[in-house]
Chain A
């Protein structure tokens, strides 16, 4: 293997990309666009979820636990309390009225405080420390759970608010406490979790795409054949391409890292260099994969058809947006065969946990093995073509 020839191939690959302004734009803006879209979409929390409240609880004397809770709910940004119905009027009709709004799709939930809510709470306070004599205060939530995220958010919000009010106003302490001490990810938000994933995904997508399309093009125009009549070897061509496309993946990762830090204050606890190294190795491997598949495509159009086959398993199974623990048992083994899984795991550990080379060596080794095997197979398939 001669370095000058590897570099010549790498240079020509980068140059032909460079002359194509739209492709350059795509390579730079696609990752920027991806991280921005994902960042703004997933980075935000739920807000202004419409709910109706039916308060059947008249309170005890001046005190009303339900009113205090409703006030808190209305003050938080998550729920928008459209209307509080009751406690005056016929209870059954009040509930019906609120339910009708949920059924009509005007609200996600109707939150009903039962008639004796405050009385039940007060009895619990009096009973504290002895054998309970009554039923606890009850809230019923009629949910439109067609969107699980929203349903979950409503339940969480109501539970947290109820707990808060009961503790602060009625000094009714729960029988135990559970507290959280973060080992890693002290200030981690969801975007910190998926930024490394998006980075790996973007690098993988682009190196694979560029590789398969370039090689289909090289084969169909006869340039690949022509190269092979010169002293350049199959291995040198493959290495030159891997170098060039690995670099493209690197540049994209830098764009993503900078954007993620600037726009979303994503944290990078560990070494950014280590993150880039992981991405480079991933890119080189995908270049080889693209190359291998390119021999099974007759033209660029057929090449593009391989994209979803490679992309979907990666997006869904590699833990980009949800952890691979969330992947069903049946598919989990597939996750371990998707190289992106290791890149995402590695980048995430470096960025959030601040791990070093010694901690992510396994992921790096898997990716390096993938790259070496792909590049060797590519070289072999080229040799066989003679």
Chain B
């Protein structure tokens, strides 16, 4: 059985020394097209990690492998000390897909309830958590609206809330800020920073490279490979640039050369 609720003491094979999310020569090919190219990655616990890169650089594919929705064609990936697809600690990860994978024919609240129930949350804590998240995504007034009647940005926010309902140890967010107003975006990043402060690991992909300055560590992806990794400030220093977008361009040049 796949389930293993909550944070029990006997977490298998996971020591703090090892990263929460690890990739070793991870590879994914789609009929000859190399989407992820021998990727090495090690993300420590309690890190807010930004994965940036243009469309098609392999961010989504990498995340899907981590959450167990795609099988790698080579290499190895470990999450919370377990080889993917993880089974024992599956309840400790959260995932917000890039596409709008929520039930549009249910209300906001019903979506949250569904995911809460799938994580075996008790009705009390679940309701409390729902309030908290609805405030965070600013959808308290729309809780009883059908998702199909919300705007695109609102749907994204519902999806984000669903991925966090069970307060996971590791949170994979694939483009969580697309279509979110600047004002709310600031709030989101504040929330991600808070999660990190509580020891959670948050992995965020974005192609708005500049917003990744708020991350502890940024990994730059190009053609399925990590071309640079480090603190945002370091990356800018190493390229003598003043923003991550320019830094990425510089690293891309060097990589191509």
Contacts and interface: CB of A to CB of B under 8 A. Distances in A.
B240 interface: no
**Which applies to chain B's interface (DSSP): helix, strand, loop or mixed?**
loop
Contacts of B100: 221-222
A347 to B, nearest CB: 32
Interface residues of A, number: 26
Contact of B120 (A2, A20, A227): A2
Contact of B69 (A1, A9, A386): A386
Given A4-B120, A19-B146, A386-B68, A222 B3 contact: no
Nearest to A20: B105
A7 B113 CA distance: 12
Interface string A19-61: 1100000000000000000000000000000000000000000
A231 B2 contact: yes
Contacts of B97: 222, 225-226
B102 interface: yes
B54 interface: no
A228 B69 contact: yes
Contacts of B146: 19
B95 A226 contact: yes
A248 to B, nearest CB: 15
A231 B120 CA distance: 9
B71 A386 contact: yes
Contacts of A331: none
Contact of B117 (A5, A16, A222): A5
Interface string B86-130: 000011010101011111111100100011011110000000000
A34 B230 CA distance: 67
Interface string A145-174: 000000000000000000000000000000
Nearest to B121: A4
A232 interface: yes
B72 to A, nearest CB: 11
B85 A231 contact: no
Contacts of B2: 231-233
Contacts of A20: 105
B117 A221 contact: no
Contacts of B95: 226, 229
Interface in B1-32: 1-5
Given A8-B117, A229-B95, A231-B91, A16 B103 contact: yes
B67 interface: yes
A221 B99 contact: yes
Given A229-B93, A233-B1, A386-B85, A12 B69 contact: no
Contacts of A12: 103, 106, 110, 114
Contacts of B103: 12, 16, 223
Q: What 5 pairs between A and B have smallest CB-CB spacing?
A: A8-B117, A222-B101, A16-B105, A226-B101, A231-B3
Interface of B: 1-5, 67-71, 85, 90-91, 93, 95, 97, 99-107, 110, 114-115, 117-120, 146
